[in-house]
Amino acid sequence: MAFVNKLAIIAGGVGGIGSATGRLLRSQGAKLALLYAPFEAQRVSSVLKQTYTDFDNDDDSIKTYACDITQPESVKEAFGKIGEDRVAVPNMLINSAGYVNLMSMSTLTPQDSLLHYQINVHGTLLCAQAFHALYLEHRTLMLNAITSSQLPSSTKISGARIVNIASQAGHVALKDHGAYCASKAALLALTRQMASEWGSEGVVANSISPGPVWTELGKKAWGDVKVREEYQAAVPTGNFAEPEEVAEIA
Ligand SMILES: NC(=O)c1ccc[n+]([C@@H]2O[C@H](COP(=O)([O-])OP(=O)(O)OC[C@H]3O[C@@H](n4cnc5c(N)ncnc54)[C@H](OP(=O)(O)O)[C@@H]3O)[C@@H](O)[C@H]2O)c1
């Protein structure tokens, strides 16, 4: 139970990798703040029932927050509520919201191109900034309590972790994934920047670059049998990853 009294905030919290990561962190004692897009509201209770079979609504171990990560006001509101609820130390952020739509470089539309950057890059940045501010607020409260002797000087302040789910697409070209590849490469750069700027404040940032994972997003990219078979033939193991494997790494 490594994460007792710790809060993991998961953007894309009712998605495939987000759910697997939430389940694993909760099994280690973490409380969860699951962010879901307002347009996903109808799915939330069924995902909770399926993913967290022992969860009941009186339990404060999971709270859900509507949040369109591309909208600054929506992110501000969701993180404001998380701060008010303060069910545990807010020291983990898993950025697992994402978007893909396959189009060739010549047919990619301006709107769809932009949507990849808005969700995969800009939305992730907005969540990371809001999380960083929330964590620093917690850290300042702790430091003040130690300085004023409300807490013993030996009190250990937990560091924070940001895990951005990037993709193999950030490293290599993939057929019809132009905007997705570019957005994930940008996310790798953004993660390095978070790590570089925030590490000295106790916030460590990392990214994970999975290959194909069999989730709704994975099915959107690889659902076509011919496309899937061609791709799988090039994977040394011959398999897609399971969301649980990504969760283990996170
Ligand atoms: N599956 C793969 O093959 C694979 C491989 C490498 C990396 N990844 C990355 O892993 C992450 C998780 O993806 P997944 O495979 O778990 O897919 P998923 O099940 O589709 O989860 C992604 C979640 O992000 C949500 N989302 C989309 N736009 C949003 C917005 N504006 N605000 C808030 N939430 C939003 C989605 O909601 P809706 O479902 O309503 O759109 C969905 O719940 C993504 O960043 C993805 O790019 C996936």
- Report which of 38, 80, 54, 69 is spatially closest to residue 187, judged by C-alpha positions: 69
115 domain-assigned: yes
Closest C-alpha residue for ligand 1 atom 39: 15
- Taking the C-alpha atoms of residue 90 and residue 109, their distance in angstroms, rounded to an integer, is 39
Can you give the CATH number for the domain in which 103 is found?
Answer: 3.40.50.720
What's the pLDDT tens digit per position in 193-245?
999 999 999 999 999 999 999 999 999 888 889 988 988 888 888 888 999 99
Domain range holding 17?
A: 6-249
Which ligand 1 atom sits nearest the alpha carbon of residue 18? Answer: 16
Residue 191 alpha carbon to ligand 1 centre in Å: 18
Residue 181 alpha carbon to ligand 1 centre in Å: 14
pLDDT > 90? residue 59: no
pLDDT > 90? residue 138: yes
- Taking the C-alpha atoms of residue 177 and residue 1, their distance in angstroms, rounded to an integer, is 39
Strand partners for 103: 177
* pLDDT of res. 44: 95
Which ligand 1 atom sits nearest the alpha carbon of residue 97? Answer: 24
Residue 216 alpha carbon to ligand 1 centre in Å: 8
144 domain-assigned: yes
- Taking the C-alpha atoms of residue 245 and residue 143, their distance in angstroms, rounded to an integer, is 37
Q: Average pLDDT over the chain, rounded to whole?
A: 95
Q: Probe ligand 1: pick from 17, 167, 176, 208, max atoms within 8 Å of CB? A: 17
203 domain-assigned: yes
Sequence-ordered list of residues with C-beta below 8 angstroms from that of 142, at least 6 positions apart, any chain: 151, 155, 157
- Report which of 88, 13, 5 is spatially closest to residue 250, judged by C-alpha positions: 13
Which ligand 1 atom sits nearest the alpha carbon of residue 213? Answer: 3
Q: Are 179 and 98 in contact (CB under 8 A)?
A: no
Average pLDDT (73-101) is 97
130 domain-assigned: yes
41 domain-assigned: yes
- Taking the C-alpha atoms of residue 224 and residue 127, their distance in angstroms, rounded to an integer, is 32
Closest C-alpha residue for ligand 1 atom 47: 98
The count of domains in the chain is 1
119 domain-assigned: yes
* pLDDT of res. 13: 97
What's the pLDDT tens digit per position in 150-185?
999 999 999 999 999 999 999 999 999 999 999 999
Residue 204 alpha carbon to ligand 1 centre in Å: 22
123 domain-assigned: yes
Q: Which amino acid is at 219?
A: K
Which ligand 1 atom sits nearest the alpha carbon of residue 68? Answer: 32
* pLDDT of res. 222: 86
3-state SS class at 50: helix
1 domain-assigned: no
- Residue 47: CB within 6 Å of ligand 1? no
